[in-house]
Structure 1
Amino acid sequence: MKLYNFSLWLFALMAGLASASVTDFESFKDTFNIQEHMGSLSIYHEPYLGGLSSRFPESCEIRQLHVLQRHGSRNPTAGDSVTNAGYLSQVQDRLLNGSLPINYTVPGNPFQFIKSWIPVIDTNNADKLSSSGRLELFEMGREILSRYSTLFDSDVYEINTAAQNRVVESATWYSYGMFGEEMKNKSNFIYVPEDESAGSATLSDFKACPVFNEKRIDHEKTKHIRSQWEKIFLAPIRTRLNPYFLNYSLTNDDVRSFFYLCAFEVALKDGSDFCSLFTSSEIINFEYDYDLKFSFHGGPASKWSSIVGGAYVNNLAESLRSVNNETNNQKTFFAFTHDTHIFAVEAALGFFPDITPETPLPATKNPYTYSAKTSSFVPFAGNLITELFQCQDQKYYVRHLVNQQVFPLTDCGYGPSHSSDGMCELSAYLNSPVRFNSTNNGTNIFNAACKAQPTNLTVHY
């Protein structure tokens, strides 16, 4: 695939947009807003996971860096379902031509903005990154190089990327952020197919698993669960918004489309009047709809969560173990992918212990306090970073960062501070019952359960 040639002034311009210190990932800190609660369509933000410091421990040196990175914010995907560009483009037309007939005479009608509204969703741009998505990935690459500069001592760096265009472009911008024009010489791009030929080297989870795809595992159950929740959370919104339309009763898909127009307009132009149509509680219930989808479809409420994410975890574990191999000097590992893949990996790592097939999220109420929030774990440009440290006791320790915040590992002891610092000694981490099957046998389990095809790809995550 062709890598794009950008002018040097563009790099200088974008680098100047974020002048804050990058030592502790300061440039992405932001205040709370509803756009941070739109499920996996949320803007990039740091979640609150306990407030542990992400600075390097004083008694330790960083030895390995593993980045699992989602693509940046994007246009809607192609297609005609309610989340897709085709459907949303039709909604735009209906709002403008009056077939979604707004009654502007109603005092305080929140749809008044439609009179001067300029739609931004274009089916010709389906699947493509937004301009902010490009900037997000460039900036993240810049920060990664600054934070982990001691690990960048090679001539060439492997960049594994799912072969979908928006993921490849995200990886490209990220590499430009790290290396500028030199990225063409410093980056070795490995394109992982988004189909069964990827086998256990997949960066697209379900797509490389024939059994999951062909048997449509989890599909009907997920659809049923979301249908139950839809009847509960969308009905009050329809009732509230109906009076603002003339001789027309809103459908559930109409209301859903307003949520998606809110999310995608934020992605495309950094703001949307559609977001103001909803209360905070309505946004949180929309967020829960996404969490139900990700939880039941191959996530922690599915028996397949450790299977579809386990192959990556096994590969990660082997790379962590390689630190003791004097002939293997690789220190940085990069993989670019989608939200569903990262979420499955995090489930296989045991990040969501309160949600299991036996104790799933309920379909009839939003419990609010639960772990698997897609807004926090896989927003646009979301990432899972794994750090490997060697400390003064000469032992190796693992730490995870979720969107630049330390994930509080609690199943494998503590770091050298002997307190809750998000770190675990390497062998305790790898052999914890929470992730033992994945770290030690995840690839074999994936191949057997999926009847996965052999792959000729050599990847290290």
Structure 2
Amino acid sequence: MPIILWKLVFILLTTTVIGIFSCCYSNVIPEGDPNIPAIAKYFCTKGRYEEVNPYLIQDILAVNRSILKPPSARCRQIHLTAIIRHGTRYPTAKNVQKMQKLYELVRSSATAKHSWLQEIQTQWKMWYTEEMDGRLVQKGVDDHKHLAIRLSKLFPSMISEEKLRGRLIKFITSSKHRCINSTLSFQAGLTELWNIKDMEFDHAVNDALMRFFDQCDRFVQEVEKNPSALTEVDKFKQGPEMKRVQQKIADRLGVPYDLITDDMAEAAFYMCAYEFAIKTVNSPWCHLFDEVDAQVMEYAIDLKQFWKRGYGHDINSKSSCILFHDAFSRLDQAVAESKSDQPVTEAVTVQVGHAETLLPLLTLLGFFKDNNTLMSTNYASQTQRSFRTSCMLPYAANLLLVLYDCGRDGLRLQPLLNEKPVAFPGLNDQQASMPLYQDVREHYKHLLRGCDFETECRLFTNPTDA
């Protein structure tokens, strides 16, 4: 085939890929805003919440209550469980080390004559330190303050001053600083909203619930500490798509190809992502990637999340059994109290954890499961995948389970992800986004009867123990 024709085919394929990748967003991100990197929608778990809900860029406190759509006017909310990821944070010490190496390489060896590169070499200073190590930034404080206010507007009968003062809103958090500070920020959003100065509100630290993955021995042994568990990730990093990205970065910097490793490419991608998430700056580091490159980087990160926290290994999701049962026990209690005409004693539960808390639970519930497994060799066929952490798990990502008493229409449960209604996978109902609670329990009965954390996470010492 002539070279010109090959180039035309490449352009057409590239254009198609970009169009498909953008289609998971229900709202259009503002075009041409010089403060927003063109690749911002591919930042995976390092992405801003605003890229998932772009209407918040114009009004950070905007809500649309019409999306809830209960089946009748008789429906009233009786319980809300909110499982929330911490807000925007600094990079971890491990990522800071990688970024420092990249910065030193660019300062010492880059020879290309780009204005943005000269800006990095002469003006940009390495301000990240290992001591930051994943701590919450001011943007992360604002993430949770604003989320608290929006949820109080979305569910005014549940997240109310009366219920907060009555201590009917319970707060549970991971022990990590970023989660504790996110919890305090969520509380501050409410107390400042209602000008509450005469009371203080506590929180419970519970790593068994919010960091279950650390306490699941089988997950730690078979996945976390097992290099072969991420074989597909390693293969993709050595594959043609990633090699091409590395070569393009080297070309843009004017350095030999062998100086840009997959770690360097990841560090450059994160440098752009962190600058934007933390400072809302379209950093000169972002010039190292075009949109095609960003899609490859996003897939590499999604591949890791898939095999380490998602559908890649069964124990990934089963490690969240304890959180699954905790959520349904709260719902069951609210149902029992409502049926006996008693006041619901725990109106709202706010649980703050990590991306690693949410993803296994979403996987256990069956969300974002594609027909084909994500592999190192099927990047081109996965452009329409639903498993995209850029859409699922930005900073302050949240899964909401809202229980309604609808009188003659029964008790119903509505799941929302990042403030948008979603349907329980595989559950067919006329009210798909708000099915009968008993139908939800029937759908997940295999997990409610089984899925025991201690059993699933027990290490087998020899094959006969299995």
Equivalent residues in 2 for 1:315-326, closer than 5 Å: 315-326=326-337
Question: Which residue of 2 is the match for residue 19 of structure 1?
Answer: none
Equivalent residues in 2 for 1:55-454, closer than 5 Å: 55-57=68-70, 59=73, 60-79=75-94, 84-96=95-107, 98=108, 101-105=109-113, 108=114, 111-114=117-120, 115-151=122-158, 152=160, 153-154=162-163, 155-156=166-167, 157-180=169-192, 182=196, 185=199, 187-193=201-207, 198=208, 202-216=209-223, 219-231=226-238, 232-245=240-253, 248-249=256-257, 250-271=260-281, 272-326=283-337, 328-354=344-370, 359-366=372-379, 367-414=382-429, 418-420=430-432, 422-432=433-443, 435-442=444-451, 445-451=452-458
* 1:247 Cα offset (Å): 5.4
Native 8 Å contact 1:298 1:308 kept in 2: no
Which range moved further: 261-270 or 296-305?
296-305
* 1:411 Cα offset (Å): 2.4
Q: Percent same amino acid at aligned positions?
A: 18
**Hey, what's the Cα distance between the residues in 2 that align with 1:53 and 1:221?**
47
**Hey, what's the Cα distance between the residues in 2 that align with 1:395 and 1:128?**
44
Secondary structure in structure 1 of the residue aligned to 2:297: helix
Native 8 Å contact 1:219 1:297 kept in 2: no
Paired residue for 2:44, among 24, 35, 39? 39
Paired residue for 2:67, among 48, 54, 60? 54
Describe the superposition over 1:292-312 as per-residue Cα deviations: whole angstroms up to 9, x where unpaired.
Answer: 111111311211133112221
**Hey, what's the Cα distance between the residues in 2 that align with 1:166 and 1:332?**
21
Secondary structure in structure 1 of the residue aligned to 2:76: strand
Secondary structure in structure 1 of the residue aligned to 2:412: strand
The one-letter code sitting in structure 2 at the alignment partner of 1:123 is E
* 1:168 Cα offset (Å): 0.4
Which range moved further: 87-96 or 328-337?
87-96
Could you say if the C-alpha distance between residues 412 and 252 of structure 1 is closer, same or farther in structure 2, counting changes exceeding 3 Å?
Answer: closer
Secondary structure in structure 2 of the residue aligned to 1:136: helix
Which range moved further: 84-93 or 314-323?
84-93
* 1:448 Cα offset (Å): 1.0
**Hey, what's the Cα distance between the residues in 2 that align with 1:437 and 1:260?**
40
The one-letter code sitting in structure 1 at the alignment partner of 2:374 is L
Secondary structure in structure 2 of the residue aligned to 1:150: coil
Could you say if the C-alpha distance between residues 258 and 388 of structure 1 is closer, same or farther in structure 2, counting changes exceeding 3 Å?
Answer: same
**Hey, what's the Cα distance between the residues in 1 that align with 2:198 and 2:227?**
45
**Hey, what's the Cα distance between the residues in 2 that align with 1:85 and 1:348?**
32
Backbone CA RMSD of aligned residues: 2.7
**Hey, what's the Cα distance between the residues in 1 that align with 2:395 and 2:197?**
23
Could you say if the C-alpha distance between residues 245 and 291 of structure 1 is closer, same or farther in structure 2, counting changes exceeding 3 Å?
Answer: closer
Secondary structure in structure 1 of the residue aligned to 2:202: strand
Could you say if the C-alpha distance between residues 42 and 70 of structure 1 is closer, same or farther in structure 2, counting changes exceeding 3 Å?
Answer: same
* Structure 1 or 2: more helix by fraction: 2
Q: Which runs of 5+ in 2 are unaligned?
A: 1-26, 32-37, 54-63, 460-466
Native 8 Å contact 1:133 1:267 kept in 2: no
Secondary structure in structure 2 of the residue aligned to 1:336: strand
Native 8 Å contact 1:45 1:376 kept in 2: no
Q: Which runs of 5+ in 1 are unaligned?
A: 1-27, 453-461
The one-letter code sitting in structure 1 at the alignment partner of 2:354 is H
Could you say if the C-alpha distance between residues 214 and 304 of structure 1 is closer, same or farther in structure 2, counting changes exceeding 3 Å?
Answer: closer
**Hey, what's the Cα distance between the residues in 1 that align with 2:458 and 2:86?**
28
* 1:139 Cα offset (Å): 0.6
**Hey, what's the Cα distance between the residues in 2 that align with 1:262 and 1:353?**
29
Could you say if the C-alpha distance between residues 224 and 333 of structure 1 is closer, same or farther in structure 2, counting changes exceeding 3 Å?
Answer: same
TM-score of the superposed pair, with normalisation by structure 2 = 0.78
Secondary structure in structure 1 of the residue aligned to 2:301: helix
Could you say if the C-alpha distance between residues 451 and 187 of structure 1 is closer, same or farther in structure 2, counting changes exceeding 3 Å?
Answer: farther
Could you say if the C-alpha distance between residues 77 and 226 of structure 1 is closer, same or farther in structure 2, counting changes exceeding 3 Å?
Answer: same
Native 8 Å contact 1:63 1:390 kept in 2: yes
* 1:360 Cα offset (Å): 1.9
**Hey, what's the Cα distance between the residues in 1 that align with 2:407 and 2:30?**
37
Describe the superposition over 1:171-211 as per-residue Cα deviations: whole angstroms up to 9, x where unpaired.
Answer: 11011011236488352300113xxxx3xxx2113101122
The one-letter code sitting in structure 1 at the alignment partner of 2:358 is I
Describe the superposition over 1:52-102 as per-residue Cα deviations: whole angstroms up to 9, x where unpaired.
Answer: 9623425322121110000111111123xxxx1222134334433x1xx11
The one-letter code sitting in structure 1 at the alignment partner of 2:183 is A
TM-score of the superposed pair, with normalisation by structure 1 = 0.79
**Hey, what's the Cα distance between the residues in 1 that align with 2:125 and 2:224?**
41
The one-letter code sitting in structure 2 at the alignment partner of 1:235 is K
**Hey, what's the Cα distance between the residues in 2 that align with 1:237 and 1:174?**
39
Question: Which residue of 2 is the match for residue 458 of structure 1?
Answer: none
Native 8 Å contact 1:73 1:132 kept in 2: yes
Native 8 Å contact 1:307 1:446 kept in 2: yes
**Hey, what's the Cα distance between the residues in 2 that align with 1:392 and 1:349?**
27
Which range moved further: 212-221 or 332-341?
212-221
**Hey, what's the Cα distance between the residues in 2 that align with 1:131 and 1:175?**
15
**Hey, what's the Cα distance between the residues in 2 that align with 1:324 and 1:429?**
13
Secondary structure in structure 2 of the residue aligned to 1:75: coil
Could you say if the C-alpha distance between residues 112 and 373 of structure 1 is closer, same or farther in structure 2, counting changes exceeding 3 Å?
Answer: same
Native 8 Å contact 1:306 1:438 kept in 2: no
The one-letter code sitting in structure 2 at the alignment partner of 1:436 is K
Native 8 Å contact 1:218 1:296 kept in 2: no
**Hey, what's the Cα distance between the residues in 1 that align with 2:413 and 2:198?**
31
